[in-house]
Structure 1
Amino acid sequence: QIQALTNDGQVSPRVGATYAMTPNHVFHAFYGRLFTPPNLEAVPFLQLNTIGTTAQPENLTNRTVEPERAHYFEVGSAHALGDSLSIELTGYYKLNKNLSDAGQFGTAPLLNYFAFKRGWQRGIDLSVNAKLSDNLYGRGNVAWGQCRGQKLQSGYFLLEQNEINDINSKSGVYCDHMQLVTSSAVLTYRPFAHTTVTGQMLFGSGLRSSNPGGKTNATHSPSYTTYNLSIEQLLPL
């Protein structure tokens, strides 16, 4: 329940089931009804004295950000393949009403919140943990996900009219924070009892962006990869 910005609430039932086919192979399914209040840092347009200035927005529509309501579905499994390898696979789908989003807007970028009237999110997550030897361990994760919003519920004053038109189109737009593929890996080696060497990798396919004159969030920024190497030495006292 929320009693600020707007007065609203919801009963949110959740149910899950787990089935262990064998001790090494476990499956699960989950459904949840979710209720997410809008962020209290949202800036209402009526509090901004921009009319008649160079900062006046193209669209003066002003609506309060409404709480997000969602149906969330998840299925997955975990598998232990011997004593040294385990694999987990999870898929999810989230159907949203008043899908909340955030972005930095204005000539002096300010984080603000808006919402789509409806939207969906879906994805798959795969993770692997492995013991390669007595002193060498590794784990990896790769996730694929999409998020799409349709019809603008609030935040008209934050966006340009061409962006509003794209959002209000039949197909809607991909969310700003959507990254199609994200992957990470960690390798840990202990050459001595008190020494640990760790290598890390993070890959992202790139957040959404737009080509000049193109549809909002129709493409993505360049992919990136980050590598880290660390050495930890424990000094017994």
Structure 2
Amino acid sequence: MAVALNTLVEEAERYLGSAKIQDYCPNGLQVEGRPQVSRIVSGVTASQALLDAAVEAEADLVLVHHGYFWKGENPCVTGIRQRRLKTLLNNDISLLAFHLPLDVHPDVGNNVQLARQLDITVEGPLDPENPKVVGLVGSLAEPMTAGDFARRVREVLGREPLLVEGEQMIRRVGWCTGGGQGYIDTAIAAGVDLYLTGEASEQTYHSARENGVSFIAAGHHATERYGVQALGDYLARRFAVEHLFIDCPNPI
């Protein structure tokens, strides 16, 4: 079956509530392709590798978390930007991208989906007083060492995480997928035993060590693979179209 592109885009925007969320990039339809969609290819980032795979898969629409047209970028259509856009336009493929709306959604959001993968019970936002902080806080069913939790992360995500191990058992966890290392002090104030995100900065190590908490950087790409898959599955069920997630390897 096929669905009108505009109908699919409108439902995705409604479901995510993207119009209400301020972001660093446009959310929604970034490149318009053919008017009907019967096959969606999803991925984390609209890289050339993903676009080439989408062409090979005969996709009508590419759905991603990291799209194009970020604030502060050079707007000129040259280099890799020209090649990426040319691939989409020459093959009449649409690009649908959602950044923060796909981080914060209570069902298909990256943070909620990662919690489900790692068996963390969500308790609430990392900072209830600041809605701009997109992380969450939750608990484990049984306390475990930081090393054991890191092994769980490795088994689930298929990637060796960076671990700064504290001494206490892990019961309460704070997390923010992607590049959320700057929220570590917020997580510490929330009383977590371990804070998990995708990336690490030099000062993250010192914040963890000096505050006596554990820290895990599990990979920006690795922690953000699940929201776009869940959204793609939702749209596929909603409109009886095909959905294929393509994971282009990225060690960062």
TM over 0.5, yes or no?
Answer: no
TM-score range, shorter chain: under 0.3
More helix as a share of residues: 2
What TM-score, normalized to structure 1? 0.25
More strand as a share of residues: 1
